[in-house]
Each structure stands twice: as C-alpha cells, then as structure tokens.
Amino acid sequence: MKTVYIKTWGCQMNEYDSSMITNLLENKYNYKISHIPEKSDILILNTCSIREKAQEKVFHQLGRWKKIKNKNPNIIIAVGGCVATQEGQEIFKRANYVNIIFGPQTLHKLPKMIQGIKKSDDSIIDISFPKLEKFKNIFYNKQKGYTASVSIMEGCNKYCSFCVVPYTRGQEISRPCDDILFEISLLAENGIREINLLGQNVNAYQGPTFNKKICYFSELLRLVSEIDGIDRIRFTTSNPLEFTDDIIDVYTDTPKLVSFLHLPLQSGSDKILKLMKRSYTTQEYENIIHKLINARPNIQISSDFIVGFPGESQEDFQKTIDFIKKINFDMSFSFIYSHRPGTPASEMIDDTKYNEKKKRLLILQNTINRQTMIWSQKMLGSIQSILVEGVSTKNIMELSGRTENNRIVTFKGSPKMIGKFILLKITEAHTHTLKGQIIE
Ligand code: SAH
Ligand code: F3S
C-alpha cells in the first residue's frame, strides 16, 4: 500500500480541496495517509499565492523535500493549488525534482497523474479549469470532527485590482443546489453538527436545481437549515457587493444562522476602494451593517483589511481607522498590500515606505484588538451556546468548544458532551478565548 503525505497552506478553500484529495486517495485508490514525509511514497504540497510570502514559502518547502528525494529517488513530489496555476511550468524549471503540477480544478486527476509517473524525473502538468469536474468525481467529502466545510461555489469574477484569485482559481461557478444538500445530509448523518458554506463570494451563489430553476444564496441557507442534525450554519467569504436584502432577511427567520458575519471591507477610504475595484462605497457597507443589526441586534462583524495599498495616504489610512471604530468590528484579518504579478494594482505607483506600512498595520491591529477585548468582556456573565469540540489543547482536564462568534471557550465538563451543543455561563474573558461554567 502506497503512503501519501499532504501539506496544505492558504485559505479554507485549500483545506477543503486537500480533504477531497485525502478522501479520493484513501477511499477510491487505497492509499494510506502518512504524517511523516520521510516515510511517504508521495509528497503533495497544496499551495497559496495570495501574498508574496505565501509563495516564497513554497520553494523553501520544496527545497526541504528535495533532500528527502535525494535519499529516495522513487518519491513522487506533486505541487497543487494557486502557486501551481500561477507559475505552471516555471515550477519544473526552478525545482526540476517536482513530478506533478495540478491546479485547484484538476485535483481529481491526481491519482491518474501519479500512476503516469514511472521514473524519478518524469513530469506531468494539468492546471486547466474543467468546470466543477472535481465534484463529479468526489461526490461526498467526508470530514472529521463536528464542524465541516462544504464548498458551494468555485472561482471568482470580481477581479479586485490587487487579487490573484480570479486568475488562479478560475471563473465563478456555483455547484448544483441538490448536490450541496446531499453532501450536507451525509455529513449530518456522520455526526457533523455545524456547517461552514465556502466560496470566494458565497452571497453571489446561483446554483441550478433539479427542476432547472436557480437557487439563490438566501434560499440555500434556508434549505440547509432544514437538514436534521445541522444546528449551526456559517459562511465564508461574502462580499459587500451583492449582499442583497433577501440574504439579510434570512437573519430574521433562521436562528441556525450564526449572529456573526465575516464581511471583508479592505479599506475605509472610498478613494482606495475605487482603486481596489471593490465596487462598493463605505456608505453602502455601512447600510448593510445597519440592516443586519435591525435583523439581528446582537450580530458581530469581522473583516479583512489591506494597508499600504498603492496611493493610500495617511488621510486614507485614518479613514480606515475611523471606520473601524464606527462599525465597531469584532475581529479582523489584516495584511500589508502585497504586489501580485499580473494584477492591475501591480502597475500602480506605490511610493509608501515599507516601514510606514508596517506602522499602519500595527496601529490597525491594535485598534481592532482593543475592540475584540471589549466585545469579549461584554460576554462576561452571559449564557452562550457552545459546540463542544473535544479536550482542551491547553489543559487536558478541560473541554473546549466555540461560541457563535467563534471564540474558544474552555470549561470543566464530561467527555459525553463532546460533539453536542451545551449552554455555558461565561466566567472569564480574554481577547480571543473565554472560560465558562456549565449551567444546570
Ligand atoms: N473573496 C474575499 C477575499 C479572498 S482573499 C473578498 O471578497 O474579500 C482573502 C483576503 O486576502 C482578502 O480579503 C484581502 O484582505 C487579502 N488579500 C488578497 N490579495 C491581497 C494582496 N495582494 N495583498 C494583501 N492582501 C491581500
Ligand atoms: Fe479576490 Fe476580490 Fe475575488 S479579493 S477573491 S477578486 S472578490
């Protein structure tokens, strides 16, 4: 039996793709998953190219694997994900010991590609974009634990001026609604209690139904909420563009949908949003948040920010800070703008010093961290529903689980509670973690 080691970097879409590769190789082709690269026959790297650093990491990792291959030339090395699509043949040139290059849309072809490698220096590449073909080959994507992600659409058409995703993951396309519901029902039968619907812009979902109609995102959310066993629904990522009223309405009538939303803003300056080609204004963003608060008064919002985008002045940056305070974001992922080859932003004049960008990032992160702490403190004494995930990694005498707003809570409980929702009273608050007590 051949053994395979998979290393995954990047977004949740990549994690999902890697779980598809694992299921395919393990269940259909009888490979065994290994956790030790030195003892594996096949090494797979599922890569990310969203920022420069993520991409450089790939070649460092391949350098380490080259040493393993020097000792055992029979090892097959495969590189997939967004760096694979972006760099293509270049990977073979820079790392000639790599055997296979596959893309996010061709991962189902991997077993056949592996079988095609007969000699240590054979090479095969397929980074094409066959539409949704991978889902036809891997219908049910089994996942461990009590929370599972399900990809509902692939690719992106938005072409934000800084972003590589439309070039690396292909055009936006929605999976058929019934396939998604079937996959989630099987996950529920296998003990999954919480579902995270995945895509680059899930709110733009338009999946065909069995009777040739179109199912929009709001309808999909309601249909998922009807599946027995699924008691909590999240989604990542949505875009302020096309975040329509019908989606906001779901918050009024679907309690299984969490009171927590990740809605990437990127910048609080309308001038920068325009240069980013985000196609919404800060006012439009604010309107969505007001409507959401109307529908769910306790909703908490997290976001993504880019600082130091070409042309961002001190004044533009200050607008972002002011907006962060105004919306009172609960959390964020924030990054220094990274020049991505082939994107329109990479042609723009970028004359802000890197040190200045680092300073801005720190100010932004400190501002958000203060807000995160205040939100956590507000939870002190409240009763929270927790999905118990297992024994705490910090203290084996405690269990841990997550609140609706994604905070980890540790508490003393019985192993029987693992995989169930329980109510806890919050007794201690830190920035990202909480402690709680079971209420009788
Ligand atoms: N579909 C999502 C974003 C996916 S990429 C959306 O609509 O916003 C995840 C995050 O990475 C983005 O929100 C952005 O903040 C960041 N990002 C993308 N490209 C980047 C770049 N070139 N430099 C820095 N950060 C970037
Ligand atoms: Fe990237 Fe914008 Fe799409 S950030 S993933 S091009 S919505």
Alpha-carbon distances of 251 from 222, 248, 257, 290, rounded to whole Å: 10, 6, 7, 13
382 Cα to the center of ligand 1, angstroms: 34
Residues 276, 278, 280, 283, CA torsion sign: negative
The predicted pLDDT at position 136 comes to: 83
Closest-lying ligand to the alpha carbon of 50? 1
314 CB burial (10 A radius; 0-12, 13-18, 19+):
exposed
Alpha-carbon gap, residue 307 to 269, rounded angstroms: 11
Alpha-carbon distances of 222 from 210, 226, 233, 243, 249, rounded to whole Å: 17, 7, 10, 16, 11
Dump pLDDT digits (tens) for 173-222: 999 999 999 999 999 999 999 999 999 999 999 999 999 999 999 999 99
Pocket of ligand 2 (CB under 6 A): 156, 158-160, 163, 165-166, 200-201, 239
150 Cα to the center of ligand 2, angstroms: 19
Alpha-carbon gap, residue 35 to 306, rounded angstroms: 35
Atom of ligand 2 nearest to the CA of 266: 4
The predicted pLDDT at position 28 comes to: 85
Task: Name residue 141's beta-bridge partners.
Answer: none
Average the pLDDT over 148-156 and give the result: 95
Dump pLDDT digits (tens) for 8-35: 999 999 999 999 999 999 988 899 999 9
What predicted TM-score, i.e. pTM, was given to this entire model? Answer: 0.94
Residue 352 is given by DSSP the state S
50 Cα to the center of ligand 1, angstroms: 7
H or E segment and range at residue 262: strand 260-262
Alpha-carbon distances of 161 from 166, 234, 280, 281, 407, rounded to whole Å: 10, 27, 14, 16, 33
Name the 3-class secondary structure at 418: coil
Alpha-carbon gap, residue 90 to 332, rounded angstroms: 34
DSSP string, 12-70: HHHHHHHHHHHHIIIIIT--EE-S-GGG-SEEEEEE--SSHHHHHHHHHHHHHHHHHHH
pLDDT above 90: residue 53? no
Dump pLDDT digits (tens) for 341-362: 999 999 999 999 999 999 999 9
419 CB burial (10 A radius; 0-12, 13-18, 19+):
middle
pLDDT above 90: residue 440? no
The model's confidence at residue 139, banded by pLDDT at 50, 70 and 90, is low
pLDDT above 80: residue 148? yes
Other residues' Cβ atoms within 10 Å of the Cβ of residue 69: 18
